[in-house]
Amino acid sequence: MVNGLALAASPVLAKSSPSSSLHQRLICLDTHLDTPASLARPGWDIMKRHSQPDDFTQVDYPRMVEGGLDGGFFAIYTPQGPLTPEGILAARDAALLRAAEIRELAAAHPQQFELALVAEDAARIAAAGKRIVYQSIENSYPLGEDVTLLRSFYKLGVRMVGFIHFKNNQFGDSATDKPQWNGLSPKGRELAALAMDLGMVMDASHSADTVFDQMMDMARSPIILSHSGCRAVFNHPRNIDDARIKRLAAAGGTIQINSYNAYLIDAPRDPERDKARGALYQKLENLSGMTPAQAAAAVREVATGMKAINARYPVPRATFETFMSHVTHALDLVGPEHVGVGADWDGGGGVIGFEDAAALPKITERLVKLGYTETQLAGFWGGNALRVLKAAHDARKV
């Protein structure tokens, strides 16, 4: 029992080392999986093992089993587009389709995946040998000017909502854009109020510091940073400072550490590289309209092209040690009850030595060596996020 939630062991065969055996006993959740972006790719099969260098994906069922990843929050991600009626309608439709694709994942593979709606579902699903599928929203732009559309996403199973992405939107300021609203907009405050009434966890990742502060001021239950880093380790606006991490923890929240290269080390943009990469990635813009064979060929062509671009325009790459420096800093700062993992798999995450979900046991191995107990690791790997989810549900008004 961790944070009031019974966390059953995942029935996966243990590896030989004590830390591997421990890792497989834990319920391991990642709070930000961009894997749904792969679900609509023609011919892509989550039940088959893939390779990040070959098709850019980092999570599939075989690698989840190998890495002891029991599931997590599968993100309905929408890139920020124009705040026009046409742009918002297109974003709304894309987000609703993505939610349907996540639900279809569970429906198509009922022996391997199951939708989860409340915190208590996690232990039951894991005990049945299935992967746990919570849903989240990354970027609320698709809601347009009608925040009540969030009710529909709640009915579809969404339990965590991130308001903003790389750019400011109608709900507030982004961490990586110039201030427009000085935090949340009036619509953003409406969205926060409705999210709390529904019992959804508010996610401040990608949001400006002012948005974080105002979410904290408004919150009736703990909030989350589903995939963020520590600004004290690397000074990037997408990371968060120690004072705010302490405030988050004091209110019962949790920071989930991501592995996005540019948030871990200084990796300057190269205009020539960006130009070459942009031209290459145009070949992937209409994957959904291709046959499986055509899509596979396009992905292979882009993967081969990216290898050439990486060789010609090398980018500094963070390592597993860099990622762990953020993890250990947060652990030292607020303890294992308020830290976890949101690696940003399939959304740009991954560093040298920590390339996909199969690598997750390396974290447990390191933390065991640092003296963390099984109970503490159970919180780190799932209990902390589930505590926040339960608190949001318990504080709902509708």
Q: What is the pLDDT of residues 308-330, one digit of tens each?
A: 999 999 999 999 999 999 999 99
Domain limit, last residue, from 315, 342, 371? 315
Q: Give CA torsion, residues 199, 211, 100, 381, to 10 deg.
A: -70
Do residues 330 and 257 touch, judged by C-beta distance below 8 A? yes
Q: Is 396 helix (H, G, I), strand (E, B) or coil?
A: coil
- CA 139 vs. chain centroid, Å, equals 12
Q: Please name the residues in contact with 390: beta carbons below 8 A apart, sequence gap of 6 or more.
A: 3, 4, 5, 118, 119, 120
Q: DSSP per residue over 354-388, as a string? A: B-SGGGTHHHHHHHHHTT--HHHHHIIIIIHHHHH
| 3-state SS record for 222-282 | CCEEEEECECCCCCCCCCECHHHHHHHHHCCCEEEECCEHHHHCCCCCCHHHHHHHHHHHH
**Tokens found for residue 257:** 């550490």
Return the number of other C-beta atoms located less than 10 Å from residue 25's C-beta. 19
Residues 188 and 217 sit within 8 Å (Cβ to Cβ): no
Number of domains in the chain: 2
180 and 52 share one domain: yes
Q: Are residues 183 and 310 in the same domain?
A: no
**How confident is the model over 84-90, as a mean pLDDT?**
97
pLDDT of residue 15: 43
Mean pLDDT of all residues belonging to the chain: 94
| Residue 355 shares a structural domain with residue 293 | no
Question: Tens of pLDDT along 257-310?
Answer: 999 999 999 999 899 999 999 999 999 988 888 999 999 999 999 999 999 999
Residues 91 and 161 in one domain: yes
Q: Could you tell me if 258 and 298 lie in one domain?
A: no
Handedness of CA 105, 107, 109, 112 (dihedral sign): positive
- Measured CA to CA, the distance from residue 1 to residue 374 in angstroms comes to 11
DSSP conformational letter for 199: T
**pLDDT band at residue 16 under the 50/70/90 scheme:** low
Indicate if the pLDDT at residue 14 is higher than 70: no
* The predicted structure's pLDDT at residue 8: 40
Task: Specify the pLDDT at position 12.
Answer: 37
What is the Cα–Cα distance from 248 to 250, expressed in whole angstroms? Answer: 6
Are 355 and 213 contained in the same domain? yes
Same domain, 358 and 289: no
Residue 378 and residue 299 share a domain: no
Domain's final residue, options 253, 282, 315? 315
32 shares its domain with 179: yes
Q: Which two tokens stand for residue 44?
A: 């892509």
Residues 91 and 209 in one domain: yes
- Domain termination residue (choose one: 290, 315, 340): 315
The three-class DSSP label of residue 76 is strand
Domain that holds residue 300: 273-315
- Per-residue pLDDT reduced to its tens digit, 198-233: 999 999 999 999 999 999 999 999 999 999 999 999
Minimum mean pLDDT among 11-15, 23-27, 122-126, 360-364: which range?
11-15
- H helices present in 78-208, as ranges: 85-108, 121-127, 149-155, 186-198
Above 70 in pLDDT, residue 3? no
Taking the C-alpha atoms of residue 195 and residue 193, their distance in angstroms, rounded to an integer, is 6
Q: Is residue 10 part of a domain?
A: no
For the chain, percent of residues with pLDDT exceeding 90: 92
Indicate which CATH number applies to the domain containing 387: 3.20.20.140
SS3 159: strand
Task: List, for residues 33-56, the tens digit of each pLDDT value.
Answer: 999 999 989 999 999 999 999 999
For the segment 375-396, the average pLDDT, to the nearest whole number, is: 98
